[in-house]
Amino acid sequence: MSARPRVCVLHVGGTIGMVRTEAGYAPQPDFLGNYMNAMPELRRPELPAFDVVSLEPLLDSADMAPEDWVRIAAAIAERYDDYTGFVVVHGTDTMAYTASALSFLLPGLAKPVIMTGSQLSLENVRSDGREHIITSLLLAGAGEIPEVCIYFASRLLRGNRAQKVHNLDFVAFDSGNLPPLAQVGVGVEVARHLVRKPGARAMKMVPLVRKPEVAAVRLFPGIGAAMMSKLLEPPLEGLVLETYGVGNAPSRDHALLTAIARSAAPPREVVIVNCSQCHGGSVRQTVYSTGAALARAGVLSGFDMTPEAALTKLYCLLAAGLPPAEVRARMQQDLAGELTANVP
């Protein structure tokens, strides 16, 4: 008889484990563990055994920063050999950023890392968190999907393809450029042709040697050269440029394009990546002259990456100490399923 799988539940914060206070909802360290230990469903034999680890300080996800991505990745790496899979309980607001970052920080992953949370606290009688916890434990314990994923509202999404799309609906996340890896209804239907293969080598966390300065800016009608120039000043090293449609930007503002080109060129070599503001589709900088102007200015196509994936990928590559030329090359390579290799 095979041993019962064991899952590590890393509680890092978020609405699911919050309680009402005079100042509004706030995380409470022991609330999630005590709640889960009191859930009779979690003692059923078809569910894996689990341990709840509280990664303090627990944070509202609006307070998450890159050092917290590293903290979570390190906690998984430290316990990697001891568990069948992991569930990361996290706030929804920046969950897509953390999921993307973990996919780049944990190469060679051969076990599931399932991120989940809820729109309503477990303290609420209608909380969506109970089902999220139960199903996330099942998915992590099965060990079949060796990726960083987000489980929410009956769908398992690749973490670095997901975006938060609603703040009131229970269907809070969607993936515009990749179907769900699994649909959960009466049964669990896994889209096995989409699931990445387990890492061939031992999983090792990417060592980060510094804290780079990266940013994202969403273009809007009327954005000018002065604002862009200010943003691109040192110490900025990387920028995600969220453009219109298939990667278009104002082309008649020559001063704006000059500011971008000057920063992308030596000696600055700021790595600037073009991502669409659209939820679905891909950047194609050769379709319109407005996109081609960005390409001539040294802006890289982000293809069909989400802005969240592009930003965290840019941060992780620069933090690993890679030179700008190598960062530029890797930004256009599929490292963890974040982009489609054959997009035009």
pLDDT of residue 342: 67
Tokens, residue 169: 């609906």
Q: Name the helix (H) or strand (E) containing 11.
A: strand 6-13
pLDDT of residue 1: 44
Q: Structure pTM?
A: 0.96
pLDDT of residue 343: 67
306 is catalytic: no
Q: Among 15, 84, 92, 312, which one carries the catalytic annotation?
A: 92
Which distant-in-sequence residues (6+ apart) come within 8 Å of 207 by Cβ? Answer: 320
Burial bucket for residue 81 (CB in 10 Å: 0-12, 13-18, 19+): exposed
SS3 category, 157: strand
Please give the share of the chain, as a percent, with pLDDT higher than 70: 98
**Cα(5)–Cα(74) distance, rounded to whole angstroms?**
22
Question: Cα 75 vs. chain centroid, distance in angstroms?
Answer: 17
**Cα(160)–Cα(140) distance, rounded to whole angstroms?**
18
pLDDT of residue 119: 96
Domains of the chain: 6-190 (3.40.50.1170), 214-331 (3.40.50.40)
